[in-house]
Amino acid sequence: MTSPQRQKRSTVRWFGGSVVRQEQSNPRTLEPPNALRKRAKGTTQSRRRWPLALTGLLVLALVAGWYLTRQRGPDLGRVANLAAPGEVVVFFGDSITQGYGVRAEESFPSLVASDLGIAMVNAGVTGDTTAGGLARLERDVLPHQPRLTLVEFGGNDFLRRVPLEETLKNLDAIVKTLIAQGMMVVILEVNVGLMGDPYLKGYRAVAERYGAVLAEDILSGILGKPDLKVDAIHPNAQGHRLIAERVVKVLRPLLKEADRRRGPMGRQSLDFPLPAFRGVG
């Protein structure tokens, strides 16, 4: 009989016509029973850990994806002139703001004003650049003493190949002047680049420098869809509706906090509401 701790098996080999029988140990039977049980237990535990690890990685991936894609609102604690007086909101920009190719009531400034119930001035001029906007600032914006001005320039600077430094310098001067006049400012940024966004970094810097709010890439997903445009670069009525929805998401919490800051005495009387302005000039 063989010992239970050590089993052997015979191997027959031929050497020059004679038979030699060798005994070989089975290495798997050399381990004591306790070692076999421990190894089996470790394998089972290892298999159980894999689903837990995969679940944890999946949760982390979902959280990271949510953080990167979530709609981030403005940091209201950094916004300048939150308690600004008045009620008028001026939309100051180029043909996108002016509403080129659509009826006045279909332009995004009109849609935003209707959605939020605010009095507005549309100070958009077709073909305007940041330099043109800076030149007409005192004529088309400041006389209205607005509570808030939305600034939308850059597309024509890009098309006319205005140096980036000049565009940013003009935008800086526009925002600086508006903030100094005591109003809130929202910058509406347009991504016109094919290989990245040439203006975004500079626009962010201007917004942070003066306490303005930046709404990034308001034309996202519009320029690449013919059914949302009237021509190569201008949104149609449906495109303006998409822009309006994005702008409202920025303005609604901003105006709500601004109303809270200045209190009920600073709001317009509901008995004598201000008229809604349609344009300038």
Residue 205 covered by a domain: yes
State pLDDT tens for residues 65-120: 544 444 455 678 899 999 999 999 999 999 999 999 999 999 999 999 999 999 99
Asked if residue 1 belongs to a domain, the reply is no
Contacts of 155 (CB under 8 A, 6+ apart): 94, 95, 96, 190, 192, 233
Q: How confident is the model at residue 50, as a pLDDT?
A: 65
Distance of alpha carbon 169 from its chain centroid, rounded?
24
What span, in angstroms and rounded, lies between the C-alpha atoms of 146 and 117?
15
Instruction: Select the more confidently predicted residue: 187 or 49.
Output: 187
Output the pLDDT for position 216.
97
Provide, rounded to the nearest whole percent, the portion of the chain with pLDDT above 70: 68
CATH code for the domain of 159: 3.40.50.1110
* Amino acid occupying residue 179: I
Confidence of residue 36 (pLDDT cuts 50, 70, 90): low
- Best-predicted range by mean pLDDT (32-46, 52-66, 136-150): 136-150
CA distances from 20 to 9, 16, 91, 94 (A): 14, 10, 102, 101
Smallest Cα–Cα separation from 228: which of 116, 113, 106? Answer: 106
pLDDT on residue 230 = 97
pLDDT at site 128: 98
Q: Report how far apart, in Å, the C-alpha atoms of 44 and of each of 48, 53, 86, 94, 197 are.
A: 6, 15, 71, 68, 52
pLDDT at position 61 over 90: no
Residue 137 has which token pair? 């600032």
Residue-level pLDDT at 195: 76
The predicted-structure confidence for 205-261, as pLDDT tens digits, reads as follows: 999 999 999 999 999 999 999 999 999 999 999 999 999 999 999 999 999 999 998
User: What domain range is 244 assigned to?
Assistant: 78-266
Dihedral sign for Cα 70, 115, 187, 246, please.
positive
The residue with greater pLDDT, 274 or 34, is 34
Within-domain flag for 215 = yes
pTM of the model: 0.71
Backbone torsions φ then ψ of 146, nearest 5 degrees: -70, 155
Q: Report pLDDT digits (tens) over 118-135.
A: 999 999 999 999 999 999
Asked, for residue 223, whether it belongs to a domain, the answer is: yes
Domain presence at residue 71: no
Cα–Cα separations (whole angstroms), residue 241 to 194, 196, 202, 257, 267: 24, 25, 27, 24, 28
Total number of domains constituting the chain? 1
Length of the chain: 281
Is residue 117 within 8 Å of residue 57, measured between CB atoms?
no
253 within a domain of the structure (yes/no): yes
- 211 occurs within a structural domain: yes
For the chain, give the mean pLDDT: 82
Give the closest residue to 107 by CA, choosing from 255, 244, 263, 250: 244
